[in-house]
Amino acid sequence: MQRRSFLKSTAAISVFSIIKPHLVFGSTVNSAVRLGVIGCGNRGTAVISSMSANTNTNIVAIADLFTDKLLTAENNYTQLNAAKNFAPIKKTSIYKGSKAYMRLLENKEVDAVLISSPAYSHVGFLEAAAAAGKHIYCEKPVATDVDGIRRVIEAGEQINGKQSVVIGFQIRHASAYREMINRVQRGDIGEILTVQLYYFSSGASIIDVKNGSYDEFRIRNHYYFRALSGDSLLDQGIHMLDVCNWALKSHPLHAIGRGNSNGRLPVGDTFSNFQVIYEYPQNVNVTIHTTKVGPSFGDVCCKFIGTKGSAEAHYSGGVFIIGDNKWDSGIARSESDLTPQQQAAGVFSSSLHDADANKEIAFIQSIETGKYLNETRSGAESTMTALLGREVATSERAMTWEEVYFSNEKLDPKLNLSQFD
């Protein structure tokens, strides 16, 4: 497919799926999927804002530990509803404290939930939502430890086609990535020899907590605490590992690695960088290098190297194949490559331009059609892949998938959540 043709076809798909969902699914209050949000921070607000804009959904309930998060969310989400002629969130459907999620799940007006709280809480919230019969969109990682991963797999098995559960790996719904992975899997780059992954992120700023407890400080700065976030390999590097598992249709057999906290602010116990080598089936070696430090965001990339060429995808830097079967997605490889005419025509510089919307549309459509999705297994395996990397790096020894998976590792965040009631 030529660059221009690919752009035209993906643009057409995006226009249909993003701009006109109401023409397919209906737009009345009675037909809207009613959503509850558990965890009203930045990520949750970003996802629910996109979901509200691109699907026939009505935000009817919210839950969080903190009053300030709820006040901000109530204002923002009420505006999202108003833009679609939906009523504001009822005061009685705004829940605060450690049991807030339970009260939200008891709300019979809630059809589906977005779980966008810190990672340490994902397992418990997912299990409770599944037991309550709600459809679930849960952010990654599914857990911070092996115990949690196994619990998510078990919850997925018990659902048994009765409701949708999707995990927030939106890259699998990015048009450019999907086309590239399809070409890799059909053999366009030949036999895959090795894979290079990296995710170079800026550090997270410290949120000051005045007159608050140390537990509150840790929760609001959860990226700095391994038992709360899982560490940066599970929080960010996991996206590239998920792409790798998707492309190779497998998970690694074992790994070796290193990491440290050089350059990180003197808070918590997470690493500022990881370097891990995985071995996948068929002797495919995969390397991942991640950083979460400093003031500047770097590049994010996956590169598959085969006997007939290589396939490469960047967040901002193009998605393309070089070699015997050349192909280009049409995503600009740099901002400077865009002419004024291309900018006016809507040529994209981000390979993820339609990822969130397509993911959210797939989730809501699965509910509306009854063709339910269950991503607990793939989500758990990608989380386990990142966790294996974390364990070999922190222990500084080689480990197998089975060794870690059957270790029954369990991280205790040691939080007294009742203080927020």
**Rounded to an integer, what distance in angstroms lies between the CA atom of residue 314 and that of residue 155?**
34
177 and 93 belong to one structural domain: no
199 and 131 belong to one structural domain: no
Looking at 169, 187, 213, the residue that finishes a domain is 169
Tokens encoding 303: 């590169």
- Cis geometry, peptide bond prior to residue 281 (ω within 30 degrees of 0): no
Question: Residue 33 domain-assigned?
Answer: yes
Question: Residue 70 domain-assigned?
Answer: yes
Range of the domain at 268: 171-353+373-405
Question: Residue 2 domain-assigned?
Answer: no
Task: Give the burial class of 210: count Cβ atoms within 10 A of its Cβ; 0-12 exposed, 13-18 middle, 19 or more buried.
Answer: exposed
147 and 20 belong to one structural domain: yes
- Using the 8-state DSSP alphabet, how is residue 267 labeled? S
251 and 165 belong to one structural domain: no
29 and 165 belong to one structural domain: yes
φ, ψ for residue 130 (rounded to 5)? -65, -45
**Rounded to an integer, what distance in angstroms lies between the CA atom of residue 176 and that of residue 353?**
9
Using alpha carbons, select from 315, 279, 290 the residue that is nearest to residue 195: 279
pLDDT value of position 336: 57
Which residues have C-beta within 8 Å of that of residue 238, sequence separation ≥ 6?
140, 141, 382, 383, 385, 386
Using alpha carbons, select from 384, 414, 356 the residue that is nearest to residue 49: 356
182 and 42 belong to one structural domain: no
49 and 177 belong to one structural domain: no
Are 420 and 66 in contact, with CB atoms under 8 Å apart? yes
202 and 107 belong to one structural domain: no
Question: Residue 17 domain-assigned?
Answer: yes
Our count of domains for the chain comes to 2
Looking at 169, 201, 232, the residue that finishes a domain is 169
pLDDT value of position 349: 78
312 and 164 belong to one structural domain: no
pLDDT value of position 339: 55
What CATH number does residue 187 fall under? 3.30.360.10
**Rounded to an integer, what distance in angstroms lies between the CA atom of residue 385 and that of residue 374?**
19
Q: How far is CA 110 from the centre of its chain?
A: 22
What is the pTM assigned to this prediction?
0.91
What CATH number does residue 27 fall under? 3.40.50.720
DSSP helix/strand/coil, 33: strand
pLDDT value of position 17: 37
pLDDT value of position 348: 62
Using alpha carbons, select from 302, 288, 286, 293 the residue that is nearest to residue 267: 293
pLDDT value of position 335: 60
Which residues have C-beta within 8 Å of that of residue 369, sequence separation ≥ 6?
none
Tokens encoding 34: 């009613």
Q: What is the DSSP string of 82-127?
A: HTTTPPPPPGGGEEESTTHHHHHHH-TT--EEEE-S-GGGHHHHHH
278 and 384 belong to one structural domain: yes
162 and 26 belong to one structural domain: yes
294 and 218 belong to one structural domain: yes
Question: Residue 411 domain-assigned?
Answer: no
Question: Residue 98 domain-assigned?
Answer: yes
Give the HSE-up count for residue 343: Cα atoms under 13 Å, Cβ half-sphere: 7
pLDDT in tens, the chain (421 residues): 344 444 444 444 343 333 333 333 434 457 899 999 999 999 999 999 999 999 999 999 999 999 999 999 999 999 999 999 999 999 999 999 999 999 999 999 999 999 999 999 999 999 999 999 999 999 999 999 999 999 999 999 999 899 999 999 999 999 999 999 999 999 999 999 999 999 999 999 999 999 999 999 999 999 999 999 999 999 999 999 999 999 999 999 999 999 999 999 999 999 999 999 999 999 999 999 999 999 999 999 999 999 999 999 999 999 999 999 999 999 988 765 655 554 454 446 789 999 999 999 999 999 999 999 999 999 999 999 999 999 999 999 999 999 999 998 999 999 999 999 9
Are 170 and 355 in contact, with CB atoms under 8 Å apart? yes
Looking at 138, 169, 200, the residue that finishes a domain is 169
Question: Residue 362 domain-assigned?
Answer: no
Question: Residue 241 domain-assigned?
Answer: yes
